[in-house]
Structure 1
Amino acid sequence: MAGKVMHAVQFDGYGGGAAGLKHVEVPVPAPKKDEVLLKLEARSLNPVDWKIQKGMLRPLLPSKFPYIPASDIAGEVVEVGSGVKNFKAGDKVVAMLSHTTGGGLAEFAVAKESFTVNRPAEVSAAEAAGLLVAGLTAHQALTQAAGIKLDGSGKPTNILITAASGGVGHYAVQLAKLGNTHVTATCGARNIEFVKSLGADEVLDYKTPDGASLKSPSGRKYDAIIHCATGIPWSTFEPYLSEHGKVIDITPSPRAMFTFAVKKITFSKKQLVPLLLTAKRENLEFLVGLVKEGKLKTVVDSKHPLSKAEDAWAKSMDGHATGKVIVEP
């Protein structure tokens, strides 16, 4: 592929939203020793993508401008680096790119072999691309932070999942129900039946008084809260936590980090746990396997062509997507 150019979407600086994205022609990247070059069939967007553009993660991200955003990709291997052992041209895969360098909103991308996983024929490119940041975050929150055993062997656990119709939330509901859990979930009124269809036992409209208070309709105290929304203070959660209950916050604010520190210092039995994703290849393989077996599904909010990537960007920024926003060729 040396010397060839490809279509890509990038931004040159902070801010600008969807209007700040630029369609450009750039060279097709060459895979290094430990990388594979993929022709992309799907990418999924995550809030972190537009948060990088907004400058919310500066000075860490991005490493430099111009920057091609998106980390969650699925496609076909077209070339492999000299040290790659597990993949060959023609393999269908799903891969996660580093947020530092990005590269997903393009026709081709290079991915590290160490975070590339085979995609079985039963799993579509869109389904696989959705799994990465959102699915892995839900998996880590439940299994590591909340201690849920997804084979159903653990002790009965009451869980609350906020923003349960979104990217992380819709995976969290499905994964939680593989464990021995009772799931209460919050979402907007239009998505109540959808969240029930994912397996939630009780669903609250977050705009009603009961939904805003997060009180379980059946009066249960929560052993863990997977907090996928924003702007809810600790004082709202605390009355409904069990004695050793945890709030697992997937987008911790400075205020949340302060609460985390206070709870630690005072040896509080109730804890706030900030979650930063530690992506692991074996966890991605596990999730892909669940999709193949029909035990987990990626719900696609909308699909957009790369030529209209700004529409997908605006949809993600709006914050009301049901499931995942996907960009296809």
Structure 2
Amino acid sequence: MKAFILERYGKSNQMRVAAVARPTIKSDEVLVKVHAVGLNPIDTMIPKGTFKPILKFELPAIMGSDLAGTVLEVGDKVTRFKPGDAVYASIFDTGKGSLAEYAVVPESAAAQKPQKLDFVEAASIPMVGLTAWQAFQDHGSAIKHGQKVFVPAGSGGIGTFAIQLAKYLGATVATTTSSQNIALVKQLGADEVIDYKTQAFENLLNDYDFVLGTVRGDGVEKALQILKPNTKVISLVGPPDAAFARKRGMNIIMQWVFGIISRKIIKLAKRRHIEYAFMFVHPDGQQLVEIAQLIDSGHIKPVIDKVFSFDQTLEALAYLEAGRAKGKVVIRLI
């Protein structure tokens, strides 16, 4: 089968389309004919070795984690799916990849595709949907009706989903974006929109209950200024902390390293009586079931910027890395 593989960490020319063996499944897995794959910013960082200490890849490795497609085979212990089912899933951090004609998906990671979405639209959802869901619902106390939530970079892949989910949960939502995307984020439900090119959000927002850290640099530090005491910031961009290393079963040296690199932000947060945590999304088919229900009931809609063919995957990754996508970038295989 054709697959988009990473041969070694380094420059973009270490990735290519190659012929690899069609995978086989275990008893608790399904084999999916992949129709479309959603790309995520982490797909542009993994090849550089950014997450080499955290993610375990056996190179060469098939890239990609989000997918939508049709079930071809099921393991003998699989009970939730049968051949012919239309499914979507994230297989991030499972040691498997989705940028291929066929993908192996643990039963626990998959869900029936939202009925209202086609395969391209469905492939855009899993990682951003699970990230927002886990940040808002799972990671500590859930967001409550009437709270104020700050989601920077509202026109990006995470932002376009997180704004909609926060609004569904009853929150007042603020975001940042450029002037040309203000109408988009307002349409998604943002109550307060700040043009990051001309305004500083930390000077305009106050008394917030939750920040979803999505922007690299000093954005998370600045966000501490807008939070009330005894609130929370969940960072998707780092720095990773010792608690994260312990949760992943990393050795004491890595726990110490992560403790050092996160010391500044944790110290700043504690001064303001704010909880800081770094979050890594994990696959969860049941959460995707609930997300599909929100989509089919009209509460959340996918936002897709551009669709590329499989042979254009390198071009698609470069486009995503440029940071100008409004919503998601998707690879269509069928």
Q: Same fold (TM over 0.5)?
A: yes
In structure 2, give the amino acid aligned to 1:289: Q
Residue 87 (structure 1) shift: 1.4
**Structure 1 outlier segments of 4+, above 4 Å:** none
Please tell me whether residue 319 in structure 1 is matched to residue 323 in structure 2. yes
Of 318-327 and 271-280, the range deviating more from structure 2: 271-280
Q: What is the alpha-carbon distance in structure 2 between the residues aligned to residue 250 and residue 49 of structure 1?
A: 14
Q: Percent identity?
A: 34
Do 2:108 and 2:286's aligned partners in 1 also have CA atoms closer than 8 Å? no
Where in structure 2 are the equivalents of 1:251-270 lying within 5 Å?
Answer: 251-253=237-239, 257-262=262-267, 268-270=272-274
Please tell me whether residue 193 in structure 1 is matched to residue 204 in structure 2. no
Q: What is the alpha-carbon distance in structure 1 between the residues aligned to residue 261 and residue 297 of structure 2?
A: 37
Residue 233 (structure 1) shift: 4.9
Aligned residue among 241, 244, 266 for 2:227:
241
Please tell me whether residue 304 in structure 1 is matched to residue 308 in structure 2. yes
In structure 1, give the amino acid aligned to 2:202: L
Residue 261 (structure 1) shift: 3.8
- Alignment-derived partner of residue 42 in structure 2: 48
- Alignment-derived partner of residue 20 in structure 1: 14
Do 2:92 and 2:283's aligned partners in 1 also have CA atoms closer than 8 Å? no
Please tell me whether residue 207 in structure 1 is matched to residue 202 in structure 2. no
Do 1:256 and 1:272's aligned partners in 2 also have CA atoms closer than 8 Å? no
Please tell me whether residue 288 in structure 1 is matched to residue 272 in structure 2. no
Q: What is the alpha-carbon distance in structure 1 between the residues aligned to residue 53 and residue 213 of structure 2?
A: 26
Tell me the alpha carbon deviations over residues 230-265 of structure 1, each in whole angstroms, 9 at most, x when there is no partner. 11255522332223232221111268722454267x
TM-score of the aligned structures, taking structure 1 as reference length: 0.88
- Alignment-derived partner of residue 271 in structure 1: 275
Tell me the alpha carbon deviations over residues 144-185 of structure 1, each in whole angstroms, 9 at most, x when there is no partner. 347445xxxx34211111111111111110011112221111
- Alignment-derived partner of residue 3 in structure 1: none
Do 1:260 and 1:271's aligned partners in 2 also have CA atoms closer than 8 Å? no
Supply the RMSD in Å over aligned alpha carbons: 2.1
Residue aligned with 1:27, SS: coil
Aligned residue among 5, 15, 21 for 1:10:
5
- Alignment-derived partner of residue 93 in structure 1: 87
Q: How many aligned positions are there?
A: 314
Q: What is the alpha-carbon distance in structure 2 between the residues aligned to residue 175 and residue 295 of structure 1?
A: 8
Do 2:66 and 2:92's aligned partners in 1 also have CA atoms closer than 8 Å? no
In structure 2, give the amino acid aligned to 1:214: E
Tell me the alpha carbon deviations over residues 210-233 of structure 1, each in whole angstroms, 9 at most, x when there is no partner. 2x34333xx542111112111125
Closer, same or farther: CA 98–145 of 1 in aligned 2, 3 Å: closer
Q: What is the alpha-carbon distance in structure 2 between the residues aligned to residue 259 and residue 293 of structure 1?
A: 43
